[in-house]
């Protein structure tokens, strides 16, 4: 009896396995999100399943709570600052690595990427110890939004750097050289020629950095105080005392923000592809 599989059988098996695995992964991702969304409409005082009475009570409670709204505002402002810092530094650093000869290049590359692989507790504790006692003009750095932005950038900037380094490699540098030949200086060429060519990578980097900061918890736990605590920190503190559906509402808001960012990235990418197709 031949051990050779019938022709076409193996591709069919692979297709079925791939489809099954895809369905499993999608379900594994969507089911917790859908359950959380459903629990946010629970009228009960505690998170429990099944839901007996559906209500928008906890949404009104969330948006009517100064503490939770302050935490949401802190998260958004810190995420915006992190996105600005990490995207600016990551883009410039990737451009420098792509265009210029840098002494000890491999060592600098390792140093740039190292924070990405460090545990958040190590980074958070290290930043708290190193900068906790610093004050500028009487303004205490510890517990400030600015310190959290810088700490979150330790994770976000390496991701921006990796993404932009790959993006810069796709540029036709004959266009850059042509700009130089026509009198465009390095700065003008960078802003008017290079950046438009890599706009998709920049938008993606900006939104990825925003999402990373918005959802980061461990470093924020070490570096925030009562006035600057972020939404994930407040959710964790609230979970320890009472697991109300307010936590589900906060989770839905974070999930919707992430989904919105991913949608913007996809729409921008499609827009750029249509431009190229023309």
Structural contact between residues 84 and 76, judged by C-beta atoms closer than 8 angstroms: no
* Structure confidence by residue, pLDDT tens digits, 89-120: 999 999 988 888 888 888 999 999 998 888 88
The answer as to whether 47 is a domain residue is no
So what's the pLDDT on residue 10?
A: 60
Residue with tokens 């938008």: 203
Residue 78: give its domain's CATH number: 1.10.3720.10
Confidence of residue 231 (pLDDT cuts 50, 70, 90): very high
Which percentage of the chain shows pLDDT scores above 70?
95
Pick the more confident residue, 156 or 6: 156
The answer as to whether 37 is a domain residue is no
The CA–CA distances, whole Å, from 115 to 91, 109, 127, 209 equal: 17, 11, 12, 14
Tokens of 20: 């099954």
Tokens of 23: 């369905």
So what's the pLDDT on residue 75?
A: 94
The answer as to whether 70 is a domain residue is yes
The answer as to whether 197 is a domain residue is yes
So what's the pLDDT on residue 139?
A: 76
- Average pLDDT of the segment spanning 154-173: 90
The model's pTM? 0.85
Least confident of 14-28, 136-150, 194-208: 136-150
Tokens of 22: 């895809």
Confidence of residue 9 (pLDDT cuts 50, 70, 90): low
So what's the pLDDT on residue 84?
A: 95
Phi, psi of 67 (to 5 degrees): -65, -45
- Average pLDDT of the segment spanning 243-272: 86
* Structure confidence by residue, pLDDT tens digits, 115-153: 888 888 888 888 888 887 777 777 777 888 889 999 999
Confidence of residue 172 (pLDDT cuts 50, 70, 90): confident
Q: Quick check: 261 pLDDT over 90? A: no
Phi, psi of 224 (to 5 degrees): -105, 155
Torsion of CA 36, 41, 43, 48, to 10 degrees: -20
Q: Quick check: 33 pLDDT over 80? A: yes
Q: Quick check: 2 pLDDT over 70? A: no
| Three-state DSSP class for residue 140 | strand
C-alpha span between 15 and 32 (Å, rounded): 26
The answer as to whether 116 is a domain residue is yes
Domain hosting 180: range is 58-277
- Average pLDDT of the segment spanning 248-269: 88
So what's the pLDDT on residue 276?
A: 67
So what's the pLDDT on residue 6?
A: 55
Tokens of 61: 């409670």
Q: Quick check: 246 pLDDT over 90? A: no
Confidence of residue 7 (pLDDT cuts 50, 70, 90): low
So what's the pLDDT on residue 87?
A: 94
How many alpha carbons fall within 13 Å on the CB side of residue 258?
13
The answer as to whether 97 is a domain residue is yes
- Average pLDDT of the segment spanning 208-231: 90
The answer as to whether 157 is a domain residue is yes
The answer as to whether 123 is a domain residue is yes
If one counts the domains in the chain, the total is: 1
């Amino acid at each position: 009896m031949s051990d050779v599989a019938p022709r076409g059988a193996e591709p069919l098996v692979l297709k079925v396995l791939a489809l099954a695995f895809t369905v499993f992964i999608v379900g594994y991702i969507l089911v917790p999100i859908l359950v959380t969304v459903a629990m946010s409409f629970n009228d009960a005082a505690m998170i429990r399943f099944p839901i007996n009475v559906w209500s928008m009570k906890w949404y009104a409670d969330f948006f009517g709570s100064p503490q939770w709204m302050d935490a949401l505002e802190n998260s958004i402002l810190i995420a915006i600052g992190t996105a600005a810092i990490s995207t600016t530094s990551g883009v410039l650093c990737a451009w420098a690595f792509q265009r210029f000869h840098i002494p000890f290049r491999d060592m600098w590359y390792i140093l740039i990427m190292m924070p990405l692989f460090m545990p958040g507790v190590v980074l958070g504790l290290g930043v708290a110890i190193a900068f906790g006692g610093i004050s500028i003009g009487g303004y205490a750095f510890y517990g400030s939004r600015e310190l959290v932005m810088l700490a979150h950038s330790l994770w976000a900037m390496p991701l921006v750097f990796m993404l932009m380094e790959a993006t810069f490699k796709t540029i036709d540098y004959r266009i850059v050289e042509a700009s130089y030949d026509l009198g465009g200086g390095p700065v003008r060429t960078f802003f008017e020629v290079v950046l438009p060519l890599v706009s998709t990578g920049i938008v993606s980097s900006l939104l990825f950095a925003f999402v990373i900061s918005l959802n980061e918890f461990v470093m924020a736990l070490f570096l925030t105080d009562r006035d600057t605590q972020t939404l994930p920190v407040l959710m964790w503190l609230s979970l320890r005392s009472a697991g109300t559906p307010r936590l589900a509402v906060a989770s839905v808001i974070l999930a919707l923000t992430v989904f919105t960012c991913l949608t913007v990235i996809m729409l921008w990418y499609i827009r750029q592809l249509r431009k190229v197709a023309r």
